[in-house]
Chains A and B, each alone.
Chain A
Amino acid sequence: MRGVRPVVEVVRLGLVSYPEAVRLQQVYVDRHRHQSGPAHALLLCQHPPVYTTGLRQAPYPAALLDRLRLLGAAVHRTNRGGLITFHGPGQLVCYPVLHLAGFKKSVRWYVCELEKTIVSVCSRFGIEASTSPHTGVWVGDNKICAIGIHCGRYITSHGLALNCNTDMSWFGHIVPCGIEGKGVTSLSAELQRDVSVEEAIPHLLDAFGERFDCRLTDAQTEPDSGGSSA
């Protein structure tokens, strides 16, 4: 229906393991496939320390992944785009499971809008972030948010990871996203004060709703109740 903003259900998962988040995303992906009418969802979570790789597996042989496991992190291969990255407590992980038919059927557009959403979140914190030929959101030469998605039959999964007060030392063991010579940063590092995931979430939801011109509803409330985004 033209002119009607799509509804996106916000699902707050809290701290969940990576495999559990993958399983839950599949539930929402399947919901798109099996029900008529829109079923967009936005999953929010944090992960215990985990390194993940994407579609391109060749740069990451088993031996390398085993060395990362010895650090005490989980390691998982995935089918998303992008190279190796780290997820851990203090990092806001967001998995939009959208059907692009309800928005725009272009993966390039979708990724660009995700980047703009995060640039907007940073701006709300007074941080000047930018995009570059390398997908992701940067503050100068340091990446503040990683993006890596998967799209099948126009249904998206995986998503973005915004560093709030993540322990950045975990990134020291990898070349994040395969980009040599660049660093990583977080909202806390940029603002020199503690910025938690909880503080960042409302800004992310606001920016997402604005950027994607959609109505966010909370999974706990009825869709008609006005959809609080806080």
Chain B
Amino acid sequence: MAACGLFRSLSSNFFTVLPLLTRSVPRSPLRLASTPYFGRTLATSSRLSAALKFTDKHEWIRVEDDGIGTVGISKFAQEALGDVVYCGLPEVGTQLAQQDEFGALESVKAASELYSPLTGEVVEVNTLLADNPGLVNKSCYKDGWLMKMTIGNPKELDALMDEAAYERYIRSIED
């Protein structure tokens, strides 16, 4: 399935994603990067990557069709953590402001805080992580999602990085 192929490339290398997008839609990369919800005009299989926005603390949020945001951490983040052994996640119903601490991930005897990408309410947490915290490492963009939240203030999405900007940000950190 094309969608599965996209997940694999998401989990392995960002650079494979953008070429896929430009292949499926006759737009220049610049226009793609500047349109927030361009996911709706692209093929179904590429909406997942199209809607990912990133924070400078390496969380991502993906806006689903129903306006709910799925939140997780990036490949860069899971590599920097090491093997995740425990996910401390919030209660459903928790109200979060943008940048509020919403939980912590434990790896190598280190507890690392998680920060909310947006303002909203927690509507679901990934219960699979209780028994399988390693999903955060193995599938950080798909099965290792952390929580889902409402989007109280959609304008906040504008301040987040799109994939290209996040890639540049990672490179600047690694230098």
Interfacial residues, chain A to chain B (CB-CB below 8 A): 54-56, 79-82, 105-112, 135-136, 147-153, 177
Contacts and interface: CB of A to CB of B under 8 A. Distances in A.
B113 A152 contact: yes
A153 B110 contact: no
B153 interface: no
Main secondary structure of the interface of B (DSSP, over half): strand
Among all A-B residue pairs, the 10 with the closest Cβ atoms: A108-B82, A135-B109, A106-B80, A152-B113, A82-B109, A81-B111, A81-B109, A81-B110, A55-B111, A107-B110
A151 B173 contact: no
20 contacts: A55-B86, A55-B88, A55-B106, A56-B106, A81-B109, A107-B107, A107-B108, A107-B112, A108-B81, A108-B108, A108-B110, A110-B110, A111-B82, A111-B108, A111-B110, A112-B108, A135-B108, A136-B109, A148-B109, A150-B112
Contacts of B111: 54-55, 79-81, 149-151
B86 A153 contact: no
Contacts of A111: 82, 108-110
Contact of B113 (A56, A110, A153): A153
A108 B137 CA distance: 13
Contacts of A81: 106-111
Interface residues of B, number: 19
Interface string B59-103: 000000000000000000001111000101000000000000100
B40 to A, nearest CB: 34
Interface string B102-132: 0010111111110100000000000000000
A111 B85 CA distance: 15
A62 B57 CA distance: 34
Nearest to A80: B111
A111 B109 CA distance: 8
A135 B111 CA distance: 13
A151 B112 contact: yes
Given A54-B106, A148-B109, A153-B57, 7 more contacts: A79-B104, A80-B109, A81-B111, A108-B108, A109-B80, A111-B82, A135-B108
A198 to B, nearest CB: 27
B127 to A, nearest CB: 15
Looking at B104, B107, B108, B109, the one whose CB has the most chain A CB atoms below 10 A away is B109
